[in-house]
Structure 1
Amino acid sequence: MTIIGWAQIALVLGCALLLSVPAGAWLAAIAEGRLGPLTRLDMALLRGAGVDPARGQSWQGYLAAMLAFNAAGFALLYAMLRLQGVLPLNPQHFDGIPPFLAFNTAISFVTNTNWQAYAGETAMSHLSQMTGLAVQNFLSAATGIALAFAVIRAFAAGGLTQLGNFWADLTRVTLWLLLPGAVLAAVVFIAMGVPQTLEAGVTATTLVGGEQSIPLGPVGFQLAIKHLGTNGGGFFGVNSLHPFEGPSALATSLQIILQVVIPFGLCLAFGRMIGDARQGRALLAVMVGFLLAATLAIYAAEAAGNPLHIAAGVSPAQGNMEGKDLRFGLALAALFTATTTGASCGAVNAMLDSFTPLGGLVPLFLIQLGEVLPGGVGSGLYGMLVFALLAVFIAGLMVGRTPEYLGKKVQAREVKLAMLAVLVLPAAILGLAGLSLVLEVGTASLQDAGPHGLTEMLYAYTSAAGNNGSAFGGLAADTPWLNTTLGFAMLAGRFGFAIPVLAIAGSLAAKPRATEGPGTLPTHGPLFAGLLAGVILILGGLQYLPALALGPIAEHVAMLAGQSF
């Protein structure tokens, strides 16, 4: 670890935090319909689409609209992928995507996961990339933010029977946040050297006189939304390690900022909308604290190097550079890895399969903690609020008082629903990963034996259920079994979590918002922030520690003993 490395980390995170302030203000304005000079245009577009934003929906109505919209998106994307071979804008003449892979990919992009059991440059046509995958990058991100708006409204006022209008929220987030943000970021990326073209590719002459075909395509725009919307799916198979997706350290830094600016901004928007900015800052402090700790752990593990490499003559000062890009170095690789797994993005600028065991454990554990640090756009905030409800419940048990959060009494219904939401991820991750590790149809996909192979499988289901999308590597994922079971894990992680969260929002919205009394637990200071961090860590540790002990922790012990897998 170096001073320059830490300066890079501080500068990038500092820029992200600064940008989150105006982002939070604009998010709150969108949620409340305060669009200034855009209001007239906004209303005209909504009326043209037959949407009345003043006509609110109950939590059941909001949920039904969200599920119907995403079901239609899945069906359309699946059909487009299957029919790719006969559709236009296919200069590479790719065939249609096989059924199991199309099923997995359609679910992946609809759920904001972007798990990719294929390499985009050798499988997807320009039409599939632009009107299929990129469109879902917008819509899945907008869905998450719309759900966050609905949950915030439940805390902001009392006696509500409606959580807003899903169609209005979805439209406004897409038109006034994601689309202009992605266009601006795409222009910057293109100026940095990222291609944006409808050409299939170019042929280059190498230094030794041979010819090499270099794939091209509309990369810049998809690169922008994959980070801004915490989607993560790359145009190219190696994602941001490809020089066309990660052309420089500056471009990589911008990608990191885009990954966290909306999740950070939503915390501040939460504080604005409930009328207490301190509450949003407390949630943001927990997110940033975990992100810094994770970056430190990854940076330290990779800077320490691999003792097997050192024994083979690699300088200890070099650290573990296997799978890293020399242009970025260890610091940006560590920060990118922490933010992409903490923020449910899934893009990569270093190959996790080549990390040291402890360096690979950290991103795995970040996803397992619930994708709330800072989590995906929207999902990170409402996931964090679920943990906040559990934290005040535990605090209430300690002092013998009915727990309250932001003036809303947290009773048996809310706690049961919160626990149901929290248990969705471990049930999907541990259940499906365990099944795949005892069935030959699952173990046949493993590249490595021992604890490293276990980690490969555990990471795949963790990434799918956590709607992250990054891959540990070493897993032949394009099989009927993995395409199907990983698809179901993605559905559970997205909608199995969102359903009880919206039910909690509906229950809390109907309750009056009481004023704070002398016995009310302050939820805006360091005491509550520490309690909240502890609840997140304890739940994660209790659920996943046995599996982690058999995987990356056992591999670390074996590495110290001179054994590799």
Structure 2
Amino acid sequence: MDFVQISLVLVLVILLAIPMGKYMARAFALEETKLDRIFGGVEKGIYKSSGITPSPMSWKQYAKALLLSNLVMFGICYLIVRLQGVLPGNPSNIPGMDPLLSFNTISSFLTNTNLQHYSGESGLSYLSQMAVIMYLMFTTPATGLALCIAFFRGLTGQKNIGNFYVDLVRSHTRILIPLSILVGLFLVGQGVPQTLSPTAEVTTLEGTEQQIARGPVAALESIKHIGTNGGGFFGVNSAHPYENPTPLSNVIEILSMFLIPASLPLVFGHMTRSRKQGWILFSTMGLMFLAFLSLAYFSEMSGNPALEKIGLSQAAGSMEGKEVRFGMAQSALFTAVTTAATTGTVNNMHDTLTPLGGIVPLGEMMLNCVFGGDGVGTINILMYAILAVFLAGLMVGRTPEFLGRKIEGKEMKLIAITILVHPIIILGPSAIALATEMGASAISNPGFHGISQVVYEFTSSAANNGSGFEGLGDNTPFWNVSTGIVMLLGRYLSMIAMIAVAGSLLAKTPVPETLGTFKTDNSTFLVILLSTVLIVGALTFFPVLALGPIAEWLTIR
């Protein structure tokens, strides 16, 4: 029965991704399409009122517009959470947020990470939840989508790289807002609250007073998953019955967070006018995802030997930290999807996963290209594709080409920097945290699991995922500042590098295909690409995995 559940959800993902990929390719087309008749009037009104001139940009102009707009958003949102105690929309009288926690929170949501060092229902007012959290939950995935499409245009030789503001607006009007309304209404139907009324005060059956937090939950939940954001309205995220009340709502949330990441490789296929190209990328990521999902399911189903030794039955698997209403199949699938799509939402406690089960979210975030979030994951797998073409060209003594454009030193330097930055901003801060009292004092589990907690926190920050091994006491100055910096570096360094690669390739004269051209739309390239990702990932991260979850698994057996 578990396999039937999982298979049905994954089949639905593919069936939805195919038309969605085609739709998104049209939504971002540089030429006029039928969609312009539907959305064009609203979009032109936005351009006019905002002073936007929808003319093509160079890659430098595109990057500058992206960075400046994000900087302004940071400043406005930081002020709101700091001053929420004196601002309206605060019926529960929640005070303003601490300065360093505010820095971490805004950095987190600005980078599409949604790492939460605060508890949503008690840390933010309704105004902050809507004007900051939900606002950034729309604008940050829209930023990722815009960059991804611009990157596609550069690689596929379109007329130009596009206009950042046009792509940002289209991401909202044509994709994120319509989908969010649809999913939000469905969640309300499943029992998710959507209200501006203050915290409810009720009398329990025992006669005691209890406060029940509520608010505009459904609106946040819909964009939280569609935008691969992950930040919860409540502290326990999608394990809370007000965020995720039924098995059906659980499936809808899985489909929501997987839809756009699964569609983007197919969008790339449409833009290259070679659907095979898109399916090769999809299949590469799909094979890695299935391997991780299998490890998660079978590891959790085998139970936890440490719990079995103290007399707790493991007949139903390791149910510690999991919701009974979801069961093992939907818990394992949710865990694999939320870190594959770098969403970060959780319906079970990742800190209580078995050691081998804990490798799954860690491994997916370390590779950071197993579908990935809205835009960024597909950019990363294409980065590895260019690297694979370059290595294959070196082996046969031929100048490497990708989609008719030569891959030369400039592009490879930028890609090498991007590949190296990811492990550096994970392993470097992890070493500092483990070696200093400021970082180590937050660890709740001594030994190998404590190492996993620290590495998970920085891996989640660098991959802009946001989930955590929540046994870590992370709301301290050290963790707020260090993870905030890692989130910003993980987001913007790779963005700048990849848009520069796109601009460089777009400026090159296409090279005609010959008999010696290396094909990138067949099974041979799939194997090379998959091998490149896994070899680079193993060389950079296997040692730290051996010190954490693997060592923990060996000790409890």
Give TM class, smaller chain: over 0.9
CA shift digits 1:423-456 (9 cap, x unpaired): 1111100011111110111111111111111110
1:206 counterpart (195, 204, 222): 204
Q: How many residues align?
A: 553
Aligned match of 1:437: 434
CA shift digits 1:386-424 (9 cap, x unpaired): 011001111112211111111111111111111111111
Native 8 Å contact 1:367 1:466 kept in 2? yes
Q: How does 1:231-380 map to 2 (within 5 A)?
A: 231-369=229-367, 371-380=368-377
1:19 paired to 2:20: no
TM-score by length of 2: 0.97
Counterpart CA distance in 1 for 2:451 and 2:298 is: 24
Amino acid at match of 1:105: T
Aligned match of 1:111: 111
TM-score by length of 1: 0.96
Q: State the 1:202 CA deviation.
A: 1.7
Q: How does 1:73-152 map to 2 (within 5 A)?
A: 73-152=73-152
Once the two structures are aligned, what percentage of the paired residues are identical?
A: 44
Aligned match of 2:51: 50
Aligned match of 1:498: 495
Amino acid at match of 2:433: S
Native 8 Å contact 1:421 1:496 kept in 2? yes
Counterpart CA distance in 1 for 2:111 and 2:464 is: 7
Q: State the 1:344 CA deviation.
A: 0.8
Counterpart CA distance in 2 for 1:495 and 1:487 is: 12
Q: How does 1:528-543 map to 2 (within 5 A)?
A: 528-543=525-540
1:426 paired to 2:423: yes
Counterpart CA distance in 2 for 1:181 and 1:378 is: 17
Aligned-residue RMSD, C-alpha: 1.2
Counterpart CA distance in 2 for 1:541 and 1:230 is: 26
Counterpart CA distance in 2 for 1:473 and 1:488 is: 20
Q: State the 1:264 CA deviation.
A: 1.2
Amino acid at match of 2:73: G
Q: State the 1:313 CA deviation.
A: 2.9
1:508 paired to 2:505: yes
SS in 1 for 2:229: coil
Aligned match of 1:555: 552
Amino acid at match of 2:536: L
Counterpart CA distance in 2 for 1:525 and 1:498 is: 28
Counterpart CA distance in 2 for 1:231 and 1:508 is: 30
CA shift digits 1:105-150 (9 cap, x unpaired): 0010000000000100011100000111000000000000000011
Counterpart CA distance in 1 for 2:397 and 2:164 is: 38
Aligned match of 1:154: 154
Counterpart CA distance in 1 for 2:419 and 2:168 is: 25
Counterpart CA distance in 1 for 2:501 and 2:40 is: 34
Q: State the 1:310 CA deviation.
A: 2.1
Counterpart CA distance in 2 for 1:472 and 1:6 is: 27
Q: State the 1:163 CA deviation.
A: 1.2
Q: State the 1:514 CA deviation.
A: 2.7
Q: State the 1:210 CA deviation.
A: 2.5
Worse-superposed segment, 170-179 or 198-207: 198-207
SS in 1 for 2:207: coil
Counterpart CA distance in 2 for 1:388 and 1:47 is: 39
SS in 1 for 2:28: helix
Q: State the 1:522 CA deviation.
A: 1.5
SS in 1 for 2:315: helix
SS in 1 for 2:458: helix
Q: How does 1:220-235 map to 2 (within 5 A)?
A: 220-235=218-233
1:399 paired to 2:400: no
1:461 paired to 2:458: yes
Native 8 Å contact 2:39 2:174 kept in 1? no
Q: State the 1:50 CA deviation.
A: 2.4
Q: Which ranges of structure 2 fall in alignment gaps of 5 or more residues?
A: none
Counterpart CA distance in 2 for 1:141 and 1:465 is: 16
Aligned match of 2:523: 526
Native 8 Å contact 2:414 2:498 kept in 1? yes
Amino acid at match of 2:526: A
Counterpart CA distance in 2 for 1:68 and 1:552 is: 40
SS in 2 for 1:115: coil
Q: State the 1:314 CA deviation.
A: 3.0
Worse-superposed segment, 69-78 or 305-314: 305-314
Q: State the 1:489 CA deviation.
A: 0.3
CA shift digits 1:28-85 (9 cap, x unpaired): 11211532422541334323332232x1111111000000000111111110010010
Amino acid at match of 2:348: A
Aligned match of 1:446: 443
1:65 paired to 2:65: yes
Q: State the 1:258 CA deviation.
A: 0.8
Native 8 Å contact 2:18 2:263 kept in 1? yes
Structure 1 stretches of at least 4 aligned residues deviating more than 6 Å after TM superposition: none
Native 8 Å contact 2:22 2:267 kept in 1? yes
Native 8 Å contact 1:240 1:347 kept in 2? yes
Native 8 Å contact 1:157 1:512 kept in 2? no
Aligned match of 2:486: 489
SS in 1 for 2:245: coil
Counterpart CA distance in 2 for 1:51 and 1:81 is: 29
1:218 counterpart (206, 216, 219): 216
Worse-superposed segment, 422-431 or 512-521: 512-521
Counterpart CA distance in 2 for 1:80 and 1:123 is: 13
Amino acid at match of 2:507: A
Counterpart CA distance in 1 for 2:437 and 2:308 is: 36
Counterpart CA distance in 1 for 2:227 and 2:301 is: 30
Aligned match of 1:563: none
Native 8 Å contact 1:298 1:334 kept in 2? yes
Amino acid at match of 1:533: L
Amino acid at match of 1:550: L
CA shift digits 1:433-489 (9 cap, x unpaired): 111110111111111111111110100000001100001111111111110010000
Q: Which ranges of structure 1 fall in alignment gaps of 5 or more residues?
A: 561-565
Q: State the 1:97 CA deviation.
A: 0.2
Counterpart CA distance in 1 for 2:314 and 2:118 is: 36
SS in 1 for 2:474: coil
Q: State the 1:204 CA deviation.
A: 3.2
1:382 paired to 2:379: yes
